[in-house]
Structure 1
């Protein structure tokens, strides 16, 4: 399962990756808005958006891309490890329900 994280804190990247690898998830982190977000998010199974760490324009672009490609989107204001952990667990639970 591949999940994109938009936003977050740069110094927590290694912790984000560690939590994802514990759950068998491939995590792709975008700390800053980049061009062609639509193309980059296309192959993701879910998107986690930390709204407190991105610009309004980046948030709008990510939401638009997630809707266009029917990708589950989880938005949270805080960007701590516990928040990410909860989001990853929600993604895994949703994926299990879809496969069942």
Structure 2
């Protein structure tokens, strides 16, 4: 399974990837500083957004993209590793 994480903190990027790998999930991480993230998502099975770390415009772009491609979207305000772990357990 492949998931994409949009938002989060740069310093936790490695921790996000390691946590997902432990669950058997390949994780693409976009910390929110990249332009047009939706075009870079590729074939993600799930998209996770940490809403407190991205702009409203970026959030709208991702929501629109996931609806069009019928990709499940999960949004959380917190951007901690524990929040990601909880989300990954529910996938």
Cα distance, 1:44 vs structure 2 = 0.4
* CA–CA distance in structure 2, aligned partners of residues 76 and 58 of structure 1: 15
* CA–CA distance in structure 2, aligned partners of residues 86 and 53 of structure 1: 18
* CA–CA distance in structure 2, aligned partners of residues 54 and 75 of structure 1: 11
1:4 counterpart SS class: strand
* CA–CA distance in structure 2, aligned partners of residues 48 and 90 of structure 1: 12
The 1:77–1:39 alpha-carbon spacing in structure 2 relative to 1, beyond 3 Å, is same
* CA–CA distance in structure 1, aligned partners of residues 42 and 70 of structure 2: 9
Q: What is residue 4 of structure 1 aligned with on the other side?
A: 4
The reply on whether 1:34 has 2:35 as its aligned counterpart is yes
* CA–CA distance in structure 2, aligned partners of residues 78 and 38 of structure 1: 21
Cα distance, 1:34 vs structure 2 = 1.7
Q: What is residue 97 of structure 1 aligned with on the other side?
A: none
Runs of 4 or more off by more than 2 Å in structure 1?
Answer: 37-42
Q: How does 1:1-80 map to 2 (within 5 A)?
A: 1-31=1-31, 32-35=33-36, 37-80=37-80
State the TM-score, normalized to the length of structure 1.
Answer: 0.85
Determine which structure has more spread, i.e. the larger CA radius of gyration.
1
* CA–CA distance in structure 2, aligned partners of residues 63 and 17 of structure 1: 22
Give the gaps of 5 or more residues in structure 1: 92-100
